[in-house]
Amino acid sequence: MDGKRLFVDCNPSKFIIFSSLFVFSIVLSLKLDGIIYWNNWCIFAPLFIWKASVIAGALMGCIAWSRHPESRAEGYVEFYAMLISAGIHSLLLLFELLVCIKLETTFLPVDYGWVLCFFPILVLCPLSVAACIWGFKHDRSLELETVISSNVLLFIFIALKLDNVIDWQWKAVFIPLWVVMCLPGIVALYYVIWALLFLRQPQYTTDRKTSLTYATIWLLVVIPLIAFEILLSFRLDGDAQLEFMSIFTPLHVCLFTLMLTSCGGKGGNRWWCGM
């Protein structure tokens, strides 16, 4: 493998996102199992670093944009994508700060509900829909915005469940998630069938290698992610007494796979925080 080529093809923005989520999922599972006793600000530190990188990158991009007008001829779409991404990450950062403050309530004179914590996310969902429409019109791929906008009902149900407004089991709360996961499941099945068809060919071709690669990646992402969601719902409902590290292990596999794919992702926005 050409290490130099791997570095050149790396999508740094996606690598930061997946690596931050990977570290966060590890320390969170250790915290939930009582192995480490860090406060929640330390647990959320990887997510804060991710958002700080995006916002700092957006500020640097704005400075570069203002100082080099000669580079604006063909970069308006990418620059606007960077601004959209920075705005969305700012709302995500506000949500994470509210969650940390909510969990560290010892110094607060008045407690507040989880619905207020999720308010930035609920505001972000329609904005993400608008961003997806804009991205579709300008041939831009906005994966994070798509994930957020497609899970609006899930965020509402989780907030209501945590505030005891609804008394559903977590399996029922996750119903919107099960519905959304049908799409990547279908895509993974498509790539598996595609790979099997190419395997029937006697000669080894580039298409055969590509199909096997895509099928493997999608299986390593979708199956562990679904397994994590199922195990988590059973654990929260008290139907299984598994350690959180065991529950989060499939998620670690999923995120690690996404980290590797970001190293060969190619392309991306030259204003890299715009994805």
| Lowest mean pLDDT segment, chosen from 35-39, 134-138, 234-238 | 134-138
Confidence band for 146, pLDDT divided at 50, 70 and 90: confident
Are 235 and 242 in contact, with CB atoms under 8 Å apart? yes
pLDDT reported for residue 2? 45
Radius of gyration of the chain (CA): 20
Are 145 and 92 in contact, with CB atoms under 8 Å apart? no
- Best CA proximity match to 124, nearest among 101, 155, 102: 155
- Best CA proximity match to 213, nearest among 259, 250, 251, 261: 261
Query: What stretch of H or E contains 186?
Result: helix 175-199
- Distances, alpha carbon 205 to alpha carbons 195, 219, 244, in Å: 12, 22, 43
Are 54 and 89 in contact, with CB atoms under 8 Å apart? yes
Hey, is 206 helix, strand or coil?
helix
Give tens-digit pLDDT for 154-163. 999 999 999 9
Please compute the mean of the pLDDT values over residues 31-39 and round it to a whole number.
93
pTM: 0.88
Are 81 and 61 in contact, with CB atoms under 8 Å apart? no
Please compute the mean of the pLDDT values over residues 58-86 and round it to a whole number.
79
pLDDT reported for residue 22? 96
Query: In angstroms, rounded to a whole number, what is the distance separating the alpha carbons of residues 128 and 146?
Result: 7
Flag whether pLDDT at 25 surpasses 50: yes
Q: How many domains is the chain partitioned into structurally?
A: 1
Q: Can you give the residue range of the structural domain that contains 232?
A: 3-274
Query: What stretch of H or E contains 16?
Result: helix 12-32
Please compute the mean of the pLDDT values over residues 81-101 and round it to a whole number.
92
- Best CA proximity match to 53, nearest among 89, 103, 104: 89
Confidence band for 186, pLDDT divided at 50, 70 and 90: very high
Confidence band for 20, pLDDT divided at 50, 70 and 90: very high
Flag whether pLDDT at 4 surpasses 60: no
Q: What percent of the chain has pLDDT over 90?
A: 52
Helix 119-137 and helix 76-103, axial crossing angle in degrees, nearest 10: 160
Give the residue carrying structure tokens 């999923």. Answer: 254
- Best CA proximity match to 53, nearest among 275, 262, 273: 273
Please compute the mean of the pLDDT values over residues 241-255 and round it to a whole number.
94
Query: What stretch of H or E contains 244?
Result: helix 244-263
pLDDT reported for residue 1? 43
Confidence band for 194, pLDDT divided at 50, 70 and 90: confident
Flag whether pLDDT at 265 surpasses 90: no
